[in-house]
Amino acid sequence: MKYMKPLMFFCMLFVSITLSAQNQYFLPTGDVSSNEKDRPAIEVYLPKEEQTNGCAIVLCPGGAMRWLSWESDVVKMAEFLNEHGIAAIGLRYHLNKSQMPQGMKMPPTVDVTHPEQFPQADANPMHDPTGDSIIGLAALDAKTAIRMVREHADEWHINKDKIGFLGFSAGGGVAIAATMSAEEAKSVPTFSARTSARL
């Protein structure tokens, strides 16, 4: 019991340090009347100024286009990137909120050991107008994130020519869709990578 107060003080101090290390910016691609947790946004994790190398990576987390694997794909990766002088920008993109068709399980499990099965290995198995439109909206969020990072590059000590994507699972699809559809120079990433691995 005598250790409870010091432990609580330490926990409160740690939480406040962690929260002050990031800033959140809502993207103009979202509906301002939506609940804040559903609005597209970026969360900025910057390395210490003396460590920064000018590179920034927009992290597109996985989650089958229905949720975001934030802790594993953004928070842990941001910590790793910051240790290496790289700014990490977590992207909260549009998600598919429509009801699942009866009998469909998420995430979809498909045996992809046979090439004929590849077309069924899809993070967005609902290829209906709603499901397909969400991919387009998420790609727009990602392009807007790249543009926003470039607009804040001087303030965040980022080189405008060293900004790219790292997408995890379904977030990799978002990064690819954004990269392939980017037309404005400000929205085109310098590089793009996709992974299914977890840290």
pLDDT at 38: 84
Between residues 30 and 130, which one has the greater pLDDT?
A: 30
pLDDT at 59: 97
Report how far residue 110's alpha carbon sits from residue 25's, in angstroms, rounded to the nearest whole number. Answer: 36
Please state the separation of Cα 166 from the chain's center in Å.
Answer: 8
**Least confident interval from 23-27, 125-129, 160-164:** 125-129
Mean pLDDT value across the chain: 80
Closest CA to 166 of 143, 134, 194: 194
Tokens representing 130 are: 């709603």
pLDDT at 192: 84
Give bridge partners of residue 100 from the DSSP assignment.
Answer: none
Ordered domains of the chain (ranges, CATH): 21-97+106-195 (3.40.50.1820)
Between residues 75 and 100, which one has the greater pLDDT?
A: 75
Position 68 pLDDT exceeds 70 = yes
pLDDT at 37: 82
CA distances from 138 to 35, 48, 166, 186, 198 (A): 17, 30, 14, 17, 22
* Backbone angles phi and psi of 163, in degrees to 5: -125, 125
Confidence bin at 197 (pLDDT 50/70/90): very low
Q: What is the DSSP letter of 99?
A: P
Report how far residue 170's alpha carbon sits from residue 122's, in angstroms, rounded to the nearest whole number. Answer: 8
Tokens 């009866």 belong to 102
Position 158 pLDDT exceeds 70 = yes
